[in-house]
Amino acid sequence: MFGRLMNVIRGFFAQFVSGVEKRNPEALLELEQENLRKQIGSYNQSLAVHAGLAERLIGQVRKLEAEEKELRARTTAHLRAGNKDAAAQHALRLQTVTRELQENRTQMAQAEDTYQNLVKARDVAVSAARAKIQNLKGAINDLRMKTALAEMNEMAAGMVTQIGGSGDTLNRLHEMVEEERNKAAGRARVAKDSLDMGQIHVQEAEQKALADQALADFAAAEGISLEGEAASPAPSRNMGAQEKPLSEGGQ
């Protein structure tokens, strides 16, 4: 009984986690990227260990090559000098060094090939993983865009259905506005018909005549001709002062 209950709990928890993952694919992708970085780091550490082994073999090969060269020279020198025992000892050691050198060269070549293959495998795996991540990023962006577009279309469809329905608020508002507009138009027509336009035209003509007269007086005072008329110079004050004594003398 307890085991069945635990299975139900595990199933519920797994379903909950799956739902969270579906709602947040970016977080899951970021987690996979972090896991990829950790795997690359661990792989590089192992690769560094293998590279160290290859470098040690390279050092041993160089050491044995130097020793072989030295032993060959000593064996030749003792043999030419007639020291057969010393030459024999050096020749025996030379055989051993030559055999070890051959084995180390073979191991070094294998280690170098293995290292190059591991590097190539790492690069191929990383490139494939990165390409898959980029594709997933594009797919997630496309998913978000299509989801948003679908939500907008659904919302637009709902709005059209609600707005286009009979007896909705917009239709009633339109009817009220049209009714008020008709009432306002009727009031404006009644006010226009009751307005005495004759009196208004008379007042307008009087105001225009007064304005024209004021303009003519101003133009005459300033000596400005209106509509091509000859300007009549305004009498100056000095001339008026001179003409007054003359008229008195004449009397």
d(CA 141, CA 148): 11
Q: Note the pTM of the prediction, 2 decimals.
A: 0.46
Pick the range with the lowest mean pLDDT from 82-86, 165-169, 173-177, 190-194: 165-169
Taking the C-alpha atoms of residue 44 and residue 123, their distance in angstroms, rounded to an integer, is 11
Binned at pLDDT 50, 70 and 90, residue 168 comes out as: low
Mean pLDDT of 5-27: 58
Please say if the pLDDT value at position 96 is more than 80: yes
Q: Does 21 or 198 have the greater pLDDT score?
A: 198
Task: Give the tens place of pLDDT for each residue, 1-10.
Answer: 666 656 556 5
Task: Report how far residue 189's alpha carbon sits from residue 181's, in angstroms, rounded to the nearest whole number.
Answer: 12
Q: Residue 226 region, left (φ>0) first, then alpha (ψ -120 to 50), else beta? A: beta
Which single residue is written with the structure tokens 């192992």? 46
CA 135 to chain centre: 18
CA distance 228 to 162: 72
Banded model confidence at residue 233, pLDDT cuts 50, 70, 90: very low
Tokens of 225: 């001709």
Residues 187-205 as b/e (b if ≥16 CB within 10 A, e otherwise) read eeeeeeeeeeeeeeeeeee
Amino acid, single-letter form, for residue 45:
Q
Which of 74-78, 190-194, 242-246 is predicted least confidently? Answer: 242-246
For the chain, count helices (H), then strands (E). 6, 0
Q: DSSP string covering 153-192, please? A: HHHHHHHHHHHTSTT-HHHHHHHHHHHHHHHHHHHHHHHH
In 3-state terms, what secondary structure has residue 40? helix
Question: Each residue of 99-144: pLDDT tens digit?
Answer: 999 999 999 999 889 888 988 888 888 888 888 888 887 777 777 7
- What is the structure's pLDDT at 248? 42
Closest by CA to 205, choosing from 216, 193, 213, 195, is: 213
